[in-house]
């Protein structure tokens, strides 16, 4: 007498579990990459939108919003120890580009991962200090530089038009000719 057993063998179950695990791993990796790329696109869009608003301000007022040649950050708090090497006085403020809202841009954007550690930037501070991932603006009225330092995720491409010439390994920027080296 033979018994008809229905069901799966242990080997079949293990194979199915391995296939599902592999598919889940690929899906999560792809999802993470898509999220990272979306945040990077948002950062570049923010920089471009702010650049357009700054040019509109200059056309109407003859100068860019002036920060007395001091860098101003969108960060809640910037670590003075890390930023002091840049030779700037980094001041947090709600309206971090003075006079730009609401006439030239509705609101000043914040980085999509504002005040979160960026473990992908292997530069001192970027990967350990959550207060450094934000946008920074500096102007003397005649020139400006708007930077996203520590915030870009993934590998930076040296041919990217947003690469910050003064900080090519950690940031993106839009700037006038005179502000490029800040």
Query: What's the CA gap between 83 and 94, in Å, rounded?
Result: 19
pLDDT: is 89 or 174 the higher one?
174
Query: What's the CA gap between 32 and 26, in Å, rounded?
Result: 10
pLDDT: is 169 or 11 the higher one?
11
> What pTM was computed for the model?
0.74
Q: What is the pLDDT of residues 73-112, one digit of tens each?
A: 766 544 443 343 343 344 444 577 888 888 999 988 888 8
Q: Where are the domains of the chain?
A: 13-179
Q: How confident is the model at residue 38 (pLDDT cuts 50, 70, 90)?
A: very high
Helices marked H in 73-173 = 80-83
- Do residues 100 and 52 lie in contact, with contact meaning Cβ atoms separated by under 8 Å? no
């Amino acid at each position: 007498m033979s018994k008809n057993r229905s069901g799966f063998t242990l080997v079949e179950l293990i194979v199915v579990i391995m296939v599902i695990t592999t598919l889940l791993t690929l899906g999560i990796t792809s999802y993470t990459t898509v999220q990272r790329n979306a945040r990077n696109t948002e950062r570049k869009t923010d920089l471009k939108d702010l650049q357009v608003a700054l040019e509109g301000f200059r056309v109407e007022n003859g100068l860019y919003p002036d920060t007395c040649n001091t860098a101003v950050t969108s960060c809640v708090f910037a670590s003075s120890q890390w930023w002091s090497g840049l030779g700037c006085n980094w001041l947090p403020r709600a309206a971090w580009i003075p006079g730009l809202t609401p006439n030239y841009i509705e609101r000043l954007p914040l980085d999509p991962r504002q005040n979160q550690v960026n473990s992908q930037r292997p530069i001192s501070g970027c990967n350990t200090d959550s207060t450094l991932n934000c946008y920074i603006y500096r102007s003397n009225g005649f020139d400006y530089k708007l930077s996203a330092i520590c915030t870009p995720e993934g590998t930076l491409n040296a041919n990217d038009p947003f690469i910050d010439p003064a900080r090519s390994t950690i940031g993106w920027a839009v700037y006038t000719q005179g502000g490029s080296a800040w």
